[in-house]
Each structure stands twice: as C-alpha cells, then as structure tokens.
Amino acid sequence: MKWSQILFLVLVITGVTLAQSDIDAKVDQLLNEMTVAEKVGQMTQIAIDFISNAGEAQGQDALQLDPARMELVIQKYHVGSILNVGTHAHSVAKWHEIITAIQDMALQKTRLRIPVIYGIDAVHGANYTRDATLFPQAISMAATWNPELLKKTAEITALETRASGIPWNFNPVLDSGRQPLWPRLWETFGEDAYLASILGVAYVKGLEGDSNDISAPDKVAACLKHYIGYGTPVTGKDRTPAWIPDHYLRQYHLPPYAAAIAAGAHTLMPNSGDVNGVPVHASHYLLTELLRGELGFEGVVISDWADITNLHTRHRVAANNKEAVRLAVMAGVDMSMVPTDLSFPDALIELVQEGSVPMERIDEAVRRILTLKYRLGLFERPYPDKSLQAQFASPAAAAVNLQAAREAMILLKNDNRTLPLRKSLKVLVTGPNAERLSPLNSGWTITWQGNREELYPKDKWTVRKAIEAKIGKANVAYVQGATVDRETGIAAAVKAAKKADVVVACLGEDAYCETPGNITDLTLPEAQLNLVKALQATGKPVVLVLIEGRPRIIRSIVEDSRAIVLAFLPGLEGGRAIADVLFGDANPGGKLPVTYPRHPNDLVLYDHVLAENTGGTSRYHPQWPFGFGLSYTTFAYSDLRLDKQNVPRGETVTAQITVKNTGQMAGKETVQLYLSDVVASITPPNRRLQGFEKIDLAPGESKTVSFTLGEAAMSFVGLDGKPVVEPGQFKVSVGHLQQTFEVK
C-alpha cells in the first residue's frame, strides 16, 4: 500500500473518531442540562394520530395537526419522537408541512431545542408518501436472490423517505419466516437464516450507506425488527407465543440480526410476542445480555406499538402499566412507542422518583437516542430537504422497480412449454386478483392494511390491463368468476373460456397486514379452487398466477394446470411484470425463499428434515421445495470439485461448479450450494444453504462459480448455545451434484 493511501486512511479514521468524540461531548453536555421529565420525554414516541384530527380527516392531505395537543405533547411532556401516517399516504408537500410544524414546536417552543425524530414503516418503498416508488414486498425481493438489486431498492426507499422529511425507517424485517400461516410472512426474506442474513445486510447498507453515515441527506436509520423469534408462532397467528429452544433460537433466528448489527444498523425493535413464556419486551436476557452483551449492539431499542402496555394487558406479567414500564425499561427498551396516550412518561417519572428505575438507566437510554439524532444530522438539519423532491419517483427508480418485479417471478410449472404465450392468442383473464392493484402490494401500502383500492394510482396496470396492453383489448376477455372467498360468476367464466385459446387465472389473497391477516387454513379458499376446476374442465389450457403473501395450498388444481407463476406481492409494477413473463418479454428466474407446502398438516421446512424415505414414508413432501424455480431456458451443472477432501479444523474448503445455458434464451440462474453435516452430536439438518450466486448466461454460455466454506458454514449451535465444528464427513450439494470432504 502506498504512503498516500495509508495517510488517507489515517485521515478518514481520525475524522470519524473526532466526529464521534464531538457527538459524545455534545450529548454529555445536553444530558447534564436535562431534567428528568425532559429525559423521559426523549424516551417517548407518540403517534401522529394523538396530535391531529386523524380520526375525522377525509380526502387527500386532509390531516391537520392539533396545536393544543402538540403543545401538550412536545412542550409539556418534551416528547422526542413521532410516528405513523394518521390517515393515508400524504403528498411530499404535506409531509413537509407536518414535519416542519413539529420541528417548529420543538425548536422554538422548548427550552433545550432538541429536534424530534420522525419514524415510519417504509417497508417496500416510501409507502406512506403519495406517488412513491413501491417495490415488491420483502418475500418477493427474497425470491430474486439478488442482494445488489435489493440494495438498490433500499437506496431509493431511503432517498424517497428522506425526501418526505422522515429520517427513520422501521425496516427491515429480519424474522425467520418459518411458519407459513403467519400473516407477516411476506414481510420477511423467507425461512432460511443464511439467505435472510445476506439480504438483510444488503438492505441495511442500502438504507444507511456503505459506511453507515446516516447524516447523508439521502440516507435514513434502519430499524431491525422484530427481534427475535416472532416468525415462528406455535399457532401461526400474529403476536402469539413461540416455543424455541435456545440453541434453535441461535441457529435459525439469530443470524440475520447478528449480521445486520455487524453491518452497523442503528436501531432495533423487539418481538411483540413471547418466547418460551417470556415477553421479549420484558426479557433482560434477550434485550441486554444477548443483544448488547454478545452481539455488541450499541443503538436504540424502540418498542413496538403499545407493547409495553401489553406486558400488563395481554401478557399479564405486570400487575399494572407502571410495573410494565419498569420491566421494559430495565430489560433494555430505550424508547416506548406508546403510542396514543401519555401513560409511559407519567409512569416512568414516578419510577425514577421512587428509585425503581435508576437514573443511570435513563441516562443510558437518552444518550443512545440523542446520539442517533446527532448521527442523523437532525441538530444541524432538522427540516425537510426540499431539494430531494426533484429525485422523488424518478424514471430510473421506476426502471429498478420493474426489474425487481420481473426477477421476483417464480415459474413453478410449465408443461409442454405452455409459457411463454404467443401474442396472437385470445386470452380469458379471470380470478379475484386480475383487476386490482391492492393484492399486488398488500399491507403497508398507502394505508396500514393496503386494502383501499380507490387510493391506488390510476396510471399503474393491473394484470388485466397489462395483458391488454401487451396483446390488445380485442384479444382479451375478462370475467372475475370469484372473489377471494366467494363465487361470483363461474358459469360466465366457463362460457368465456370456451371462446378463448388460453385462460389466465389470477388467484390468491386480499391485501392484509398483521393480525387482520390471521387465517385458520392455509388452503386457498374453495371459491377459487372451484373456479379453476370448472375452467380446467373446458379442456382449455389454464395458467395460474398466484398473487399472495404466503404459500396458499393449491394441491387439487396443480395437476391439471398447464403452467403456474408465483408472483407473491410484486408491487406497483407487478401487473406489467406478470404480463412480461407470461408473454416472454422477460424470462422468469425467481427461486422460492420458502418451502411451498402440499398439505395443511405437512408444514416441514427444507433445512430440518430427512430427505430419504423412512419406513416407506417420505418425511418431506412439499408441493415445491425451497430454492425451486424454473426458467424458459435450461441450465446444465457439471464438474463440481473441491480443492481438498481432508480439511484440518480451522481451514477452509473451496467448491467450484460449472453452469451452462443449454437453451435458446438468455436467462438468470441462481446457483445454490448446500452443506450437510452427515453425523453430529445432535440431529443435524438434512442440509443448509451456505452459498449462492446469481449469474446471467446467454445461450451456450458457461460460467464457473466458486464458493469458500469456513468454520461458520461447518458449525452448528450445540445444546450449550455455542457454535461447534465437529470432525467428520460433510456433503456439498450444488444442483444434482455432490462431493464430500472430511473435517479432521
């Protein structure tokens, strides 16, 4: 390395150190000046609903702040954070008006002039800002298996969120989605900890930047949620208990959080439920010993919506709200998302005055919060940056969005090369999700539930409109046939099918989010199954397009469907992307980030099964396995080789594989490496994903892909909660090929 490079690095490191030292000094000075009430106010987050006319506001940008409530919250109670949208998505100008009024109150009417930090759930773009770029939801982005593409979507989300005047995004969701009934599955990156870790880091870096300089005008603070174990409720219903042994928690749930914390994420939100009988919001072990002691997290822990109060009202581990506040704060929660009353600051002040919560703990929490505000640049630039509006919802962002939606499409079945369809065909478009934008996006879209179809932008295409644009209205017939759960005209759909060359049936779910999305049966509702069976009986080829947030069981209609495309929740460009795939203007290359079950009582995950038959009965019989996805071209895998067969403990082994496009169309293939520990001291998973790379191949083109496996890949978490590499045989699988090596 040249001396000039060394000097540059020294200057950079020194600059960072001085900057942090300067922040520390300013925070210490502020803390010394603050009263107990002012400190507790910084630990309080209130929903905009509480300081506005949210309950009565109608129409676009109708929300108005209530001056008296603002004075109570910001001046009297010194509240340091506001969240939420109040009604439905606001324009950029309206957000600027809201944020400016809040900051005016904080900076002009309070003693210490500490700016307010505003937070929002921008989970697939700036979804609470009107006309924002709304990307595929997380489960669809996971289906792309493309970290760089995900990072681009996060960068755009950060810019458009900051352009709205908001510096804090409550995302990414790093829960391991290992219970397919769970209504928040689509907010995750799927069931696998390794895939979620890679994607989670990419998303954090997209929001915060490669150096995590969140003071940059186009960056926001990330919030990792919902730490930890939220994605595996026993019942499958939202905010219900999970039972997870500690070594399983560390093996299957902790890695995405550990990776994102190591990547520099600034904030974190706990699980609303309980794990092994202990609500996470009250767990000192999870929030302090594990999170801070082992993982080294130094940022702000903010509660989820009303979850401190819920320690009393739902979990019943606290006799009253005051005791709930004590439990949460002492466990490690720094800021309470109260969100619609002032019970938290009242209770916490009393607890400090009586000595039940020591001043040291208050100062610790407030120091973290003030540090976050300084790092975001809020003290220097508290108001919205109006210059960013010129980059809001740009054509370049729309192009990234369309690319993401196309890459998210998973081709599950394609008998006799039914797809792609010829553009000269006459097509019947049917099903509950053919003519709506809301199912393409689902929750956290314009409103919390995402189900206000009338609020969606009129210039975006439904699947029906996209197909009409592709082949002309004269070649497209549309009959709904059924809603999500009710037959509305199956006979009419059958009549139309007889005049068509092919049927495209758009099935799936309504828009939903969180608890309203709870279901009791993973099977697709009977009305939709009946519609498809009637259409199949006509003898016309039926193509299914599944638009859903979780893998709804469709066993009874799979065999007689000619082709099946799984779109999950592809966002505002989803209709166009679906049509592009159906007619061959895009080659599908998505892969399943979850196991797609065949039966309601056979919800077995890919990494914790035995592949071989035992007693004549397979233990793993999904409809489609994790990592599966077809293409319009074909790929041949060959020459899997390892650089060594005997691996001393502590050394690495490198695997290489050659992949060739043997078809007639260019395509993207995700090369996946799985590792199996053949014998272990506790029953090992059948296999675990330990490497993947997405490659683009022209017809006839070959590429060699390499993966290096170290101790982290070979280890498992033992019963003592510690990772261990045991000597013995390991099996490497890539495609249909396998090789083994021995750890000595």
104 is catalytic: no
Q: What is the DSSP string of 116-130?
A: PEEEE--BTBSTTBT
CA atoms of 323 and 314, how far apart (whole Å): 14
Pairing between β-strand 502-508 and β-strand 542-547 as defined by DSSP bridges: parallel
DSSP state string for 600-616: TT----TTSS--SEETT
Strand ranges in 304-391 using DSSP code E only, listed in sequence order: 336-337
Q: Which of 192, 304, 334, 607 is catalytic?
A: 304
CA–CA dist 44, 288 (Å, integer): 20
Could you tell me how many helices (H) and strands (E) the chain has, helices first? 22, 28
Would you say how long the chain is, in residues? 744
Torsion angle of alpha carbons 650, 652, 653, 659, nearest 10°?
A: 150
Alpha helices in 458-584 (DSSP H): 463-471, 490-497, 526-536, 555-558, 574-582
Q: What phi and psi values does residue 740 have, to the nearest 5 degrees?
A: -125, 155
DSSP secondary structure of 547-587? E-SS--B-HHHHTT-SEEEE--S--TTHHHHHHHHHTTSS-
Residue 169 contacts residue 221 (beta carbons within 8 Å): yes
CB 702 within 8 A of CB 671: no
Dump strand ranges (E) for 280-339. 300-301, 336-337
- What angle (nearest 5°) sits at the alpha carbon of residue 729, between those of residues 726 and 731? 120
Phi, psi angles (nearest 5°) of residue 705 = -110, 135
Strands 737-743 and 728-734: what pairing? Answer: antiparallel
What's the gap between Cα 155 and its chain centre?
15
Note whether 411 and 565 are within 8 A (CB). Answer: yes
By annotation, the residues acting in catalysis are 304
